[in-house]
A and B are shown apart, each in its own frame.
Chain A
Amino acid sequence: MDNTVDISVDFAGLKLANPVFTASGTCGYADELSDFMDINQLGGFITKSITVKPRKGNPTPRIVETDSGMLNAIGWANVGLDKFIEEKLPVIEKLTIPVFVNIAGETIREYVAVVERLATERTIAGFELNISCPNVEKGGISFGTDPELVKEVTSAVKKAAGEKILIVKLAPAVTDISAIARAAVEAGADALSLINTFTAMVIDIETRRPVLANKTGGLSGPAIKPIAVYLVNKIYNEVAKERGIPILGIGGIRNASDAIEFIIAGALAVAVGTANFIEPGCAVKIIEGIKKYCISHNIINIKDLVGSLGTN
């Protein structure tokens, strides 16, 4: 039955067996979820954020649950570039699927330093650029909110990335997300992933203090899904479609129906994030669900579903 439907996709020149990724920060460095699923069945894999230097991350509490969602303020806790190369790359090498390394930094130099070191690693398919980081050289404002800064960081990273695929991950809370997306694409982004989390706060009304030690955190989970679907559709129509840029849709996906909604909105592929914490094998189930949907809706090739949103 599988032979009757083709759910493989051409993602920025890379052939993926299916359109389902796991999202950065929710699936570890490589094989941490393998107790729950066969990672090699995924379409692709995105590591947690890697920075030049190891980062301990923020004090606790680092998370708090919200209505149908959660806030996180982990602070890019990661082993740092050297240890990533030494300890995690050998594990990644054993995977048969394309792996993207998510990179974070507080200066353009820091982003470039990570990409330069990893650009020659054969085992890596490309990078996902996290531009929701504070730019310490520009008073801590996020790279991702200013089209000029996005252009600057994207072109610097693209130059360092060489032949590797560069995905730029868009922050949702900006004045004009299409302007940001255009800036990224003009500066050399091969693909766009959206959305990152929304900055948000939960207050403990007994102590009258924020629950998170970091005060604010990024809101993720089903709560943000309708906004993510809307923004994916907006970017597809205003930026991606005419330029042939693939979109990786992210935001509250926990089942095949959610994933299909993003694909109809214009995403060529999707990434499962917060749901990995709750049902760590769900990404593989979503692949099966997408196949079933295609079969029952007489869709022979999934590309016929991408951006197929009708009008009312």
Chain B
Amino acid sequence: MPEKKTSSDKGSFCATVRANRQIGQPAPAFSDASRGGGRFYRLNLEFTGDGAKAFAKFQPGQFAEFDLSGTALPTTEKVPEDLVDVCQRNILLRRPFSFADVNAKKDKILAEVLYCVVGPASLRMTTLASGDSVSVIGPLGNGFRVPEGKKSALLIAGGMGAPPLLHLAKVLTADYSDIEAIAFAGTKTAKDLPFEKRLDEISQQLGFSLPEFAKYGVKSQVATEDGSAGFEGMVTDCFKRWLDKSNPAREQSIIYACGPEQMLARIAEIAKEKQIDCQISMERRMACGFGICQSCAVPCRVNGTNETVYKLCCEDGPVFDSKEVVFSL
């Protein structure tokens, strides 16, 4: 992964939908789809021509902006109760998504988006059908970087933070044979985990329990705050417990994290305490995604001083060094 991509890689392209299906609801355990959980989908896209050339360079942690304003809502009975009101308004802005996987197939690029239905745009996304086209701007932002000399990559995903880390797990396995990656994934409760496995049967230990990571040979451990799957507690505590026990060589290790800001703040603390390099993927409301609107400001420290400047999540991030970010909690 290059340290810095050139700005001229990005553009506005038309992608073709190849598949779009709901995932991760093995009934009856998680049949309650009324709030948050059980509303995960996997969207497969195909880029051709200039779009394929641009997205061939897409790095884990980068993102793309989707125009869903012209995409239809599902029929009334398929609108979850908690989204009925919000779905009455038209949407205008694009929505940012990371990719969970990117594959080159001849001169085409196949990209996979894992998404959760949380509002009027992601709900519209569920009605995209095979053969539909969707306008996508990207690749945007800076992805995860791999410094020299690392042997151990520690991936930590909170909730819907998993997709870019799945992509990272794949690239680390394929391109960095001397790095061993392991993953920790956590949420409030089992049904909020964006994975397909029967998560209530999953092990308490690090193992090949999540097939999404296991297919790259990456061991994983699940944590849920209510103990409904895996470790009972926060994923940060789960990770800290593993770290204390395993004590990996700090200069050979690197933490990659994506999730809610509170989780990232805790991970940054742990990384500082253990003196392990740490890159975090931040999230902000953004109107454009390519540096124009200035909405997605992230307060950052200036070279270890107390002075702070605003950097842009879209152009300077979304992946930041955990030492520079001033978290807003």
Chain A residues proximal to chain B, CB less than 8 Å? 25-28, 32-33, 35-36, 48, 56-70, 72, 74, 77, 221-222, 274, 276-281
Contacts and interface: CB of A to CB of B under 8 A. Distances in A.
Interface string B221-247: 000000000000000000000000000
B292 A277 contact: yes
A77 B284 CA distance: 17
B80 interface: no
A222 B93 CA distance: 11
B293 A61 contact: no
A280 B137 contact: yes
B10 interface: yes
B205 to A, nearest CB: 37
Interface in B62-121: 67, 69, 89-94
Interface string B266-287: 0000000000000000001111
A36 B12 contact: yes
A59 B92 CA distance: 23
Contact of B292 (A62, A68, A222, A276): A276
Given A56-B309, A69-B92, A221-B92, A26 B294 contact: no
A33 B294 contact: no
B297 A62 contact: yes
A96 to B, nearest CB: 20
Given A59-B328, A62-B285, A72 B293 contact: yes
B8 interface: yes
B297 A280 contact: no
Interface residues of B, number: 33
Interface of B: 7-8, 10-12, 67, 69, 89-94, 135, 137, 284-288, 290-299, 309-310, 328
Contacts of B288: 276-278, 280
A296 B285 CA distance: 42
Given A61-B285, A63-B295, 18 more contacts: A25-B293, A27-B292, A32-B291, A35-B11, A36-B11, A48-B294, A57-B297, A58-B297, A60-B298, A62-B294, A62-B296, A62-B297, A70-B92, A77-B297, A276-B288, A277-B288, A277-B292, A277-B293
Nearest to A78: B294
Contacts of B12: 36, 279-281
Nearest to A33: B292
A83 to B, nearest CB: 13
B6 to A, nearest CB: 10
A69 B287 CA distance: 11
Contacts of B286: 63
B89 A60 contact: no
B15 to A, nearest CB: 15
Contacts of B287: 63, 70, 72, 274, 277
